[in-house]
Amino acid sequence: MVKQRAQRGWEWLIERAIQVAGAVAIIFVLMIFVFLLRDALPVFKATTARELLAGKDWLPTAEPPRFGFLPLVLGSLYVTIGALALAMPLGLACAAFISEVAPRWMKEVLKPGVEVLATVPSVVFGFLGLLLVGPWLADVLNLPVGLFAALGSLMLAFMAMPTIVSVSEDAIRSVPAALRENSLALGATQWQTIWRVVLPAARSGIIAGVLLGVGRAIGETMTVLMVTGNAAVIPEGLKGLLRPVRTLTATIAGEMGETVVGSPHYHALFAMGLILFLIAFLTNTIADAAIRRSGRLGR
């Protein structure tokens, strides 16, 4: 009887502890949002939302200062989308190869190998891009400068790949073997089976992997700060990929230390943080919806 009561008390304690842990995660997110908002909103004393979002010039120290986010937002988009365009097909192909095609010994080497790539610090990628890849690409492509948007994309692709590969490979591997057998027994080739059955069956895991990769790419600061040239100009067309850009993250990291706390510039940087936060929130929500939608047929 006593033992039972003690057990029930213990049970209660554990339940509460789990509840608190769950609540803490949500509270953190809310608090980050509140603090960002608190330090971002005063920027509207110095400028308008329209100027902020559509302004073409980022000249925070000019007189009068101009707080146009457009070049920075576009810079972030260029670098991120470029990274995604490289990392997604490559990562998926790599994941499919590891789980479906490679012989066992190769699997055992490749998977940990790719995962090691995820542990390389971002500053190392920046370093490699800055000193090795950038100058070489500038030489080959005949560019004026060795620091440009696509170089950032390339480096970010390397960093996002391990996540995409690892998560998608897990998802692909967990597709029941019976589905593959059924497909092959209908006269499908291995390639047809991978493309038409295995990848669609693993899609929610693949979407999750790609989005985790995007998360890494859009939030990445150090590498892009080092290799994208930091020119706050609006990139134009595809050619913009080969010109220097500056991303939101690089701007915050580069300028936060040099602003006067409480100045409009300071608040503008917080507004950028808010935008990044909202982008991340939006990607997650879209991903969630996508997973749920694709899961409907799969359930």
Partner 1 sequence: MSESNTDRPIEQPEGEIKIETRGLNLFYDAFRALTDINVAIPARQITALIGPSGCGKSSFLRCLNRMNDLIDDARVEGDVLLDGGSIYEDDTDVAQLRKRVGMVFQTPNPFPMSIYDNVAYGPRLHGFGGRDSLGEVVEKSLRGAALWDEVKDNLRKSALDLSGGQQQRLSIARVLAVGPDVLLMDEPCSALDPTATFRIEELMLELMERYTIVIVTHNMYQASRVSQHTGFFLLGELIEYGSTVGIFENPKDQRTDDYVRGRFG
Which positions lie near partner 1, rule CB under 8 A?
176, 178-179, 181-189, 192, 196-197, 200-201, 296-299
Query: And the tokens for 189?
Result: 């080739």
Whose Cβ is closer to partner 1: residue 197's or residue 241's? 197
Whose Cβ is closer to partner 1: residue 76's or residue 183's? 183
Whose Cβ is closer to partner 1: residue 55's or residue 200's? 200
- Residue 292 CB, shortest distance to partner 1, in Å, is 14
Q: Judge contact between 60 and 255, C-beta under 8 A.
A: yes
Helix (H) or strand (E) holding 59: strand 58-59
Whose Cβ is closer to partner 1: residue 113's or residue 298's? 298
How far is Cα 80 from Cα 157, in angstroms, rounded to an integer? 9
Whose Cβ is closer to partner 1: residue 166's or residue 204's? 204
Torsion angle of C-alpha atoms 35, 41, 46, 50, degrees rounded to 10:
130
Query: And the tokens for 110?
Result: 């490749």
N-to-C CA span, the chain: 45
- Residue 103 CB, shortest distance to partner 1, in Å, is 9
How far is Cα 136 from Cα 139, in angstroms, rounded to an integer? 5
Q: Could you tell me which of 141, 124, 146, 148 has the C-alpha nearest to residue 231?
A: 148
Q: Judge contact between 264 and 47, C-beta under 8 A.
A: yes
Q: How far is CA 150 from the centre of its chain?
A: 16
Whose Cβ is closer to partner 1: residue 180's or residue 267's? 180
Amino acid identity, residue 82?
A: G
Whose Cβ is closer to partner 1: residue 77's or residue 188's? 188
How far is Cα 31 from Cα 47, in angstroms, rounded to an integer? 25
Whose Cβ is closer to partner 1: residue 206's or residue 279's? 206
How far is Cα 165 from Cα 160, in angstroms, rounded to an integer? 9
Omega of the bond leading into 64 within 30 degrees of 0 (cis): yes
- Residue 105 CB, shortest distance to partner 1, in Å, is 12
282: number of Cβ within 10 Å: 10
